[in-house]
Amino acid sequence: MTLATWITLSRLLAVPILLYLLRWDATEPTAVSARWIAVAVFVIAAGTDWLDGYVARRFNQVSDLGKFLDPLVDKLLILVPLLALIELRVVPAWSVAVILVRELAIAGWRVNQPKISGANWWGKIKTVVQIVALALLIAPLSGLWTAVGLGVYGLAIALTIISGVIYLKDA
């Protein structure tokens, strides 16, 4: 296995850690520290998505395993914390269903293509906005920041739909 693939797998290890840290409602005293740690774990893990791609391209470590694992791990890193946020009543289930359906539709479509095309700019912007939204929603913020987090999350949902339609239209 290449270094780039190991970096991808390190991102996967963040998923159960996030689930553990997100098991409390943010209003509980013990949850505040756990939620800030979860934000740090999430942001670092999300940053490894850029890092593994850079390492793979820079050191010619692009592999079939990496091409398979990277988008799968990316989806898990986004969707698993969102599922925890449903349980904590931070986000509605329908919004996560929209993201899940888009991701499954694009992944299913890609499997049947002779040449796998990567994410377009809309998909990259969608991912960045999802990461920012999740970081804000995981953080134990209140007042205006809660509204900002939900607003960015709404933008992420819109970009999820737009990027999916554009990806399928252009393919």
Average predicted confidence (pLDDT) for the chain: 91
- Say what the pLDDT of residue 58 is: 93
Q: Helix 64-87 crosses helix 3-21 at what angle (to 10 degrees)?
A: 10
Neighbours of 64 (CB within 10 A): 7
| Non-local CB neighbours of 124 within 8 Å, separated by 6+ positions | none
Determine phi and psi for 26, rounding to 5 degrees.
-65, -15
Q: Which residue has the tokens 């737009």?
A: 162
Q: Please write the tens of the pLDDT for every residue from 90-141.
A: 999 999 999 999 988 888 877 777 666 566 788 889 999 999 999 999 999 9
